[in-house]
Amino acid sequence: MKIFPTIDIKDKKCVRLIKGDFENKTVYEISPIEQAEKYKEHGFKNLHIVDLDGALIGETVNLDIIQEIVSKFDFKIEIGGGVRTFESIQKYVESGIEKIILGSAAIKDKIFLKEACQKFPNKIALGLDAKNGYLSISGWKENSNQLTLDFLKEVNDYGVSRLIFTDINKDGTKASPNFEETSKVADVSNCPVIISGGVSSIKDVKKAKDLNKNIEGIIVGKAIYDGDIKLDELVKEDA
C-alpha cells in the first residue's frame, strides 16, 4: 500500500479544505517546502500535491514551489489542480513529476483525456471527485450530472495509469473514507486506484490494505496536520 501524504497549496501556504469548500479552510503555519521536508525526513516515498489556486483558475499557479520540492527532495509526486492543457502537463513532466492528475478537463472533454494519455504515456492519472455518486468539476464548484461509474466505463480503455477517487462528502472531515464506493470503482477500473478523502486514523489505513487488490494506495491529509495520525506510525504502513 502506497501512502500519499498531502500538501495542498493556497496563497503559498499549506491549507486543508472541508468538503472542498474554499470558504471553510484551515491554514497551517508550515510552508509547503517545510512540510515536504518533514515527510522526507520520516522516510515517505510518495507525495500528493494539489495546487488549489490552480484549481480555481485553471493554470499552474504554484509551479515554482512545486519545482523547488521536486529539486530538493526525492519523491514520486502526483499533482493535480488546474491542469487543463497539454502545455501544463508538459511543464510538470519536464519538472520531474511522476503523475499528472486530470480532473475537470478530463470530465468535460474526454477527447482531451484520451489524447493526453497518448502524448504522455504512463504519466496521466484521472481524478474522479464524486458527491452522492455524481462527478464534480471546477474546484468541486459544479456538478457534472455524470455518474462516476458510467464515466469510468466510457474512458476505461484510454490508457490512464492511475485513478484517484475522492468522496467529496468525506474530504477533510476525518469521518473515514468511502471504502464501499471506492471498492466499486476499483472493481471497474482498468488501472490501480488511490483512496482519497476522510482518513481519520491509522485504522483507516490498515483497513484500506485489506480491500480490493486493485487499490494501490491511500491519500492522508488533515489527519496528519491535526495530529490524529503520527508520521512515525504512518510511514510503517508505506510499502
Reported confidence tier of residue 144, pLDDT bands at 50, 70, 90: low
Reported confidence tier of residue 142, pLDDT bands at 50, 70, 90: low
* Active site positions, annotated: 8, 129
Q: How many domains does the chain have?
A: 1
Q: Among 123, 85, 77, which Cα is nearest to 104's?
A: 85
The CATH number assigned to the domain holding 178 equals 3.20.20.70
140, pLDDT greater than 90:
no
Q: Among 47, 31, 21, which Cα is nearest to 172's?
A: 21
* H-helix or E-strand spanning residue 234: helix 231-235
The whole-number pLDDT of residue 163 equals 98
% of the chain with per-residue pLDDT over 90: 74
The pLDDT mean for the chain works out to 92
Q: Among 224, 215, 174, which Cα is nearest to 1's?
A: 215
The predicted model gives 187-213 an average pLDDT of 94
- Per-residue pLDDT tens for 37-91? 999 999 999 999 999 998 888 888 899 999 999 999 999 999 999 899 999 999 9
78: domain range?
Answer: 2-235
* H-helix or E-strand spanning residue 129: strand 124-131
- Per-residue pLDDT tens for 209-230? 999 889 999 999 989 999 999 9
Q: How far apart (Å, rounded) are the C-alpha atoms in residues 100 and 9? A: 16
Q: How far apart (Å, rounded) are the C-alpha atoms in residues 131 and 170? A: 9
Residue 59, C-alpha cell as written in the block: 493554470
The one-letter code for the residue type at 79 is I
The whole-number pLDDT of residue 137 equals 76
Residue 11, C-alpha cell as written in the block: 496563497
Q: How far apart (Å, rounded) are the C-alpha atoms in residues 96 and 75? A: 10
Q: How far apart (Å, rounded) are the C-alpha atoms in residues 71 and 64? A: 11
**Residues present in the chain in total:** 239
The whole-number pLDDT of residue 23 equals 76
pTM recorded for the entire structure? 0.93
The answer to whether 172 and 15 are in contact (CB under 8 A) is: no
112-116, 134-138, 215-219: least confidently modelled range: 134-138
Backbone torsions φ then ψ of 199, nearest 5 degrees: -60, 125
DSSP state of 131: E
